[in-house]
Amino acid sequence: MPAEHEELEARIGYRFRDRDLLVRALTHKSVRSDVSSDPASVEDNEQLEFLGDSILGFVAGEYVFRRCPGSDEGKLSRLKAQRVSASHLFEVAVGLRLGEHLQLGRGEEQSGGRTKKAILANAVEALIAAIYLDGGLEPSCRFMETLILESGASEEFPGDVELDAKSALQELAQSRRLPLPRYQIVQQKGPEHAKLFTVEARVGTEFTARAEGQSKKAAGQMAAALVLEQLRDYAADAPVDNSAGED
């Protein structure tokens, strides 16, 4: 087993008994184009990706169900979609430095395949399946909960913040005939593997807030939640207008 794969095993917290499964999970279908004799003999990660996607969907559904008791189906569905999205899986892959371990065909290598969102996200799903086939559901669940479902969860599961604050803010702004919310990234800092983003959310000129997060999405949600709180507080303190409908 190459030493770099052993480093990857240490990062994911699982040591494979069948190392061929790990290699297959890291092998992109583009490798087949470099095999002239028998391309079909190459075992790539497409089937593992399919299986891993199914396993992740099931486990993520149970996870948000447990984390958010009493939430309605719409909120649970949105939160689940966030945790299994390609964007989130891509961030997980970057954190694991998965791109360094991929086996790619020459063409894909030259076109920057090691940093492509779809390839990296799919490799995470293939890795889930490989762990499941090698060790069963328990270690694969541990991998998913620790490195995928809990990753960034502090940004998206704060107890007093809406599960989808952006949607809630837009609905409230529309109901009060206010301008639609606008979002702007005002700062990025830190190394590539641990960047922090500051996003400003604004409704009109009066309601604005900034928040920091480990992703643009998380920072935007937190900023939206702060503006949402401002709007709700303003409504609670505002005097009743009895002039509506008067000449």
Beta-strand (E) ranges in 70-203? Answer: 182-189, 196-203
With beta carbons less than 8 A apart as the criterion, state whether 223 and 201 touch: yes
Q: Tell me if residue 134 is catalytic.
A: no
Backbone angles phi, psi at 87, to 5 degrees: -65, -40
Backbone angles phi, psi at 29, to 5 degrees: -60, -20
**Tokens describing residue 149:** 């479902």
Give CA–CA dist 10/19, Å, rounded: 14
With beta carbons less than 8 A apart as the criterion, state whether 45 and 126 touch: yes
Residues 53, 108, 156, 164: which is the catalytic one? 53
Percentages of the chain per state (helix, strand, coil), in multiples of 5: 60, 10, 30
Q: Tell me if residue 53 is catalytic.
A: yes
Cβ neighbors of 180 (< 8 A, separation 6 or more) are 170, 173, 174, 203
Residues 108, 125, 134, 156: which is the catalytic one? 125
Which residues are catalytic, by number?
Answer: 53, 125
